[in-house]
Amino acid sequence: MAIEIKQVKTRKDIKAFIFLPEKIHAGRANWVPPIYMDERKYFDPKKNKAFGYCETVLLLAFRGNDLVGRVMGIINNRFNEYRKVRIARFGDLEAREDPEVVHALLDRVEEWARGKGMNRVIGPYGFSDQDPEGFIIQGFENRATIATYYNYEWMPRLVENEGYSKDIDYFVYRLAVPKVIPEFYKRIYERIQRKGGYTLHEFKKRKELKPWIRPILSLMNECYTNTNIYGFAPLDEKEQDDLAKRYLPVVDPRFVKAVTKDGEAVAFIIGIPDMTEGIQKARGRLLPFGFIKVLRAAKKTKQLDLLLGGIKEKYRGLGLDVMMGFKMIQAAQAAGFEIMDTHHEMEANVKVRAEMERMGGVVYKKFRVYQKNL
């Protein structure tokens, strides 16, 4: 039976779009559903400000009356103007192992992108680098984290069959939380302390974090712009506020570290306890009682997930990363964590990757973003 592609237009359509993945991945031990409360906001143009500067198309694939796939096409006009490119993105691609469905969905996104004057498509990628990016291509035996895709093993192959090739790879390291902090970390930390001039800030309560949200996100904007982070375009103040609202409820103040010099924020790192087991048990539904399962999982977990970090350009190479890392390890030790997930590290970021390996980190997941010229 032929594949029919329909554009999402109604409330019923968007509901079908949002909940299709849990049907496709039903029974998969390592797939983690989204938090549906957030997912509804993400796909709502009235609540997600990214729709204000991005053109989008949401598509559903049907075989007869059966919903068999979905995809989102995105053109981030702000990013394109900032980078002087004409790139479209595909994201949220879900389907069963059916080459015809994957072909039909990607073909329609490409047709849409060409009609908008684009000359290249990358994906999977969301509105920004703060959204999940890249198909997992290594480490399927490990459970997904809150900020990553988890696709079937065959999905990258079907995408490659459509003419897509590697654009960038990301490596995710697993580090054992050391029972004793490495001696070289101690030496660097003590040297920075002796030199003075830097103040490291730690937090115990969320209300203590609130005054720091804007300085930290503004610093992220500056750091990621200057380091040419893949897919990044600066966020405006409203988007920074939205990002804060998205993550503040799950951020544990113990795992946020910031450094200031002369009262100015110059470095930060943010981690969260892995709560994916709780999200699985709650099936992505926080209400009425799912949030209890998520909170319980966050308290029981032995894994710390690192999310974001950055150092102001002129202060890099001075040991501020070690300064924050020293305190993060201490906090992880105190919480009884045994391992840390580093989140995405770009393949080309050899300096950071070397540091991960120096700390005994092992690559346990690998993600790939694809590209195709139109």
CATH (domain of 130): 3.40.630.30
Structure tokens given for 266: 């110059």
Containing domain of residue 64, as a range? 3-171
Q: How far is CA 75 from CA 48, 142, 205, 213, 324, in A?
A: 15, 32, 39, 28, 36
Q: Are residues 229 and 317 in the same domain?
A: yes
Q: Are residues 220 and 300 in the same domain?
A: yes
Q: Are residues 80 and 120 in the same domain?
A: yes
Q: Are residues 186 and 164 in the same domain?
A: no
- Are 92 and 124 in contact, with CB atoms under 8 Å apart? yes
Q: Collapsing DSSP states into helix, strand and coil, what is residue 288?
A: coil
- Rounded to whole angstroms, the Cα distance separating 147 from 353 reads 20
Q: Is residue 350 part of a domain?
A: no
Point out which residues pair with 173 in neighbouring strands: 363
Q: Is residue 358 part of a domain?
A: no
Last residue of a domain, one of 145, 171, 197: 171
**Beta pairing class for 345-346 and 165-176:** antiparallel
What is the reported pLDDT for 349?
85
Q: Which residues of the chain have pLDDT under 50?
A: none
- Are 327 and 199 in contact, with CB atoms under 8 Å apart? no
Q: Is residue 353 part of a domain?
A: no
Neighbours of 207 (CB within 10 A): 9
Last residue of a domain, one of 122, 144, 171: 171
- Are 257 and 200 in contact, with CB atoms under 8 Å apart? yes
What is the reported pLDDT for 185?
81
Nearest to 287 by CA among 46, 48, 15, 35: 35
Q: Are residues 133 and 79 in the same domain?
A: yes
What is the reported pLDDT for 211?
86
Q: Is residue 354 part of a domain?
A: no
- Rounded to whole angstroms, the Cα distance separating 266 from 249 reads 24
Q: Are residues 132 and 10 in the same domain?
A: yes
Q: Are residues 310 and 197 in the same domain?
A: yes
Q: Is residue 18 part of a domain?
A: yes
What is the reported pLDDT for 190?
87
Q: Are residues 192 and 315 in the same domain?
A: yes
Q: Are residues 84 and 115 in the same domain?
A: yes
Q: Is residue 371 part of a domain?
A: no
The domain tally of the chain equals 2
Q: Are residues 254 and 309 in the same domain?
A: yes
Q: Is residue 351 part of a domain?
A: no
Q: Is residue 349 part of a domain?
A: no
Structure tokens given for 168: 């960038």
- Rounded to whole angstroms, the Cα distance separating 101 from 108 reads 11
Q: Is residue 249 reached through a cis peptide bond, with omega within 30 degrees of 0 on the bond before it? A: no
Where do the H-state alpha helices sit in the chain?
11-24, 36-42, 77-83, 99-115, 155-160, 183-195, 206-226, 237-247, 276-282, 290-300, 320-335, 350-358
Q: Using the 8-state DSSP alphabet, how is residue 145 labeled?
A: P
Last residue of a domain, one of 154, 171, 188: 171
What is the reported pLDDT for 227?
63
What is the reported pLDDT for 111?
98
Q: Are residues 213 and 297 in the same domain?
A: yes
What is the reported pLDDT for 249?
74
Q: Using the 8-state DSSP alphabet, how is residue 144 labeled?
A: P
Q: Are residues 119 and 47 in the same domain?
A: yes
